[in-house]
Amino acid sequence: MIQWNQAQAPQPPFIASIFHYYLGEDLTGYQEYDELTLNLVKEMPGYLGYESFKHDGRGSFISYWKDMEAVRNWARHPIHIEAKEKGKASWYRYYHSAICAVNSLHVHSGGDQ
């Protein structure tokens, strides 16, 4: 389920930043930076929400943003830059990211399935 920053899902258009990864062996500091960046991102102007999946060392983190300016501002945040550098150096065996425009959103919240 998406953890929207507001009570209601935003109306498109907005931006999705999709990060897929496979964790490496050395995760020293990973959990601390994960928590730190997640707390920081929630305070960034233009941040809309996120969803995250992780299983057996593979995962996806999708953050949602008002516009590309907000995405670029987060990319330039010093703590986010540090986290990316540490990720490249040791935390991730592999990763790729994509920035996508969301033009349509359909939400179903019919309860537990």
Residue 83's contacts (CB-CB under 8 Å, 6 or more residues apart) are 33, 36, 37
Per-residue b or e along 39-55, where b marks 16 or more CB atoms closer than 10 Å to that residue's CB: ebbeebebbbbbeeeee
Predicted confidence (pLDDT) at residue 110 exceeds the cutoff of 80: no
What does the domain layout of the chain look like in residue ranges? 12-102
- pLDDT tens-digit map of 68-88: 999 999 999 999 999 999 999
> Domain 12-102 classified CATH 3.40.50.12780?
no
Cα 70 to Cα 48: distance, rounded to the nearest angstrom? 10
Alpha-carbon Rg for the chain in angstroms: 15
Look at 112 and 31; give whichever has higher pLDDT.
Answer: 31
